[in-house]
Structure formats: structure tokens, C-alpha cells
Amino acid sequence: MTVIGSGTPEINALISAEEDMLQEIRSDLGRNQEQLDTLTAGQRATPDHLDASRRATLVQGRISLFLETAARHVQAPQVADRREEIAAKIAELEEEIGARARDDRLNSFVSRINTKIRDKAIALDLEHKESPIRLDPRGLTVVADTSRGPVRLADMGGGENWLGYHVATLLSLHEWFSEQNSPVPRFLILDQPSQVYFPEDSPDSTALAGPDRTALLNLYKTIQRTIEALDESFQVIVMEHADLDDEPFRNSVEARWRRSNGQALVPHEWITEELGDR
């Protein structure tokens, strides 16, 4: 106890010295933490500072560009804004080119059809067959360009020529449509083409003779040649008054509706009520 008692002041002195050293270390740690916080805050502020500098430089560049451009505009003559005018002109030219192309295509096609019409006019021995024949799509007629000038269909003789040119034109149009695989229905219906050949004083007769019979038969031969040229993909339905024994008329007859044989377009058994004369 005597030894311990005599050593206590020294132990206390050592403890006190260690506590002073510990306090000094804590102070140093605190100063280091403050410096570390300051350094970290500086590092965080650096990108913002750089971004701000870049933004400032960009704004300065834009201001400089605006001032330089404004100076040039003041010195140079003012340019009129003609964009709408130019766009309208472009649209007008495009429409004109498109219309011209359509007209060229139509004229080309009609020229091919005109050749077919003239060939059939020659086969039917029609008036003005020796002249160029053309279809007028706008006037919806046929014109013969003779040495005396154009002759329209209304001025081409009588009924035989009108019938012949109508049939020739219709056959030629259907021929063209079929060759071009057009969706136009491939059939033609004619009602009594022989009517122009019958004399007015005997319209009920079914017999024809002489040049009229030859002309009518020639008409049916022309129709038949057109059908054969199209590999029978085109059909002509005729409701006819005349009754010819010659080909191709004879074998093309599907039905004969006559009072003499009691047949009609509407069968008698379909009629359930006599209507009388109305």
C-alpha cells in the first residue's frame, strides 16, 4: 500500500498527459473534417460554375451573331417574301403538265380507235370511208376529214350510214377496252339494226332482198369478225326483226319470238291476268 500510495501522483500525471494528447488529436480531427467539407463543397460547385460559364459564352455568341446579322440586313436591300406566289405557280405548272399528259394519252388512244373505226367503215362500205375517220370524244360524234373539210356524222347521208358508223364505233371501242383489259362490261346490245333497211310501207315483213339484204348481212359479218378477233371474250346481243338464212346470222339465233309460233319474250303462261287494250 505504501508503494502504491507513493506511485499515485506519477500515475495521475501520466493519465493527465495522455488525456491532453487525446484532446489534441480530437482538435486535429475536427480541423481536418472542416477542411474536407470545404474541399467537397468546392468540388460540387465547380461543374455549376463551368456550366454557368458555358451558358454565358453561348449567350454572348448569340448576341454577337444577332448584332452582325442585323447590321447586314440594315446595309443589304430588303428581299420580298414571294414564297406563296412561287408555290402557287408551281402548283399551276404541275396541273398544266398533268392535264397535258392526260390529253396526250387520250389523243393517242383515240388515234388507235380511229384506225379501227375506219377499217370497219371500209368493210361496211359506208360514205366517206376513203377519208380519215375520227371519233370526237367531246362532241360525242364521228367526223370524216374530207378534202372539202370535216363532215360530222349528222351530215353523212342517211340511216344506213348513221347505223354503220354507230356500230363501227361501238365495236371499235369495245375492241380497245378488251385489248386493254378494261373493266368495261364486254357485251353490246343492239335493237333491230335492220330497221333502216325496211321500206316504210312494209315494216312488218321479215324478208329482205337485194342491196339491203347484202348490207345487213355485211353488218352481221363485221360483228362476227370482231367477236372472233377477241377470242369470243366479247358478246353482242341483238333483238332483230329480220330473219336471214345466211351465216353467221342463222347459227347465231337463240330464239324466235313470233306470233306465228306462239312464242314471245314473256311466255304466255306467265301472264295471269288479261290487261286488255290499255
The predicted model gives 233-247 an average pLDDT of 88
Instruction: Note the pLDDT of residue 97.
Output: 74
Instruction: Note the pLDDT of residue 50.
Output: 59
In the chain the first and final C-alpha atoms are separated, in Å, by: 161
| 278 is a domain residue | no
| 172 is a domain residue | yes
- The CATH number given to whatever domain includes residue 114 is 3.40.50.300
Instruction: Note the pLDDT of residue 47.
Output: 60
Burial 265-274 (b: 16+ CB within 10 A, else e): eeeeeeeeee
**How many domains does one find in the chain?**
1
Give the C-alpha separation, 86 to 52, whole Å. Answer: 46
Q: How confident is the model at residue 275 (pLDDT cuts 50, 70, 90)?
A: low
| 204 is a domain residue | yes
CA angle 63–66–69, rounded 5-degree value: 150
| 230 is a domain residue | yes
Of the candidate ranges 115-124, 194-203, 211-220, the one whose mean pLDDT is the lowest: 194-203
Q: Other CB atoms closer than 10 Å to residue 218's CB: what's the count?
A: 14
| 4 is a domain residue | no
| 5 is a domain residue | no
Residue that the C-alpha cell 451573331 belongs to: 65
Q: For 202, phi and psi rounded to 5 degrees?
A: -140, 65
- pLDDT higher than 90, residue 208: no
C-alpha cell at 77: 436591300
- pLDDT higher than 90, residue 225: yes
Range of the domain at 189: 94-258
Contact 141, 152 (CB under 8 A): yes
CA angle 40–46–50, rounded 5-degree value: 170
Q: How confident is the model at residue 237 (pLDDT cuts 50, 70, 90)?
A: very high
C-alpha cell at 70: 442585323
Q: Other CB atoms closer than 10 Å to residue 111's CB: what's the count?
A: 11
| 89 is a domain residue | no
Instruction: Note the pLDDT of residue 98.
Output: 74
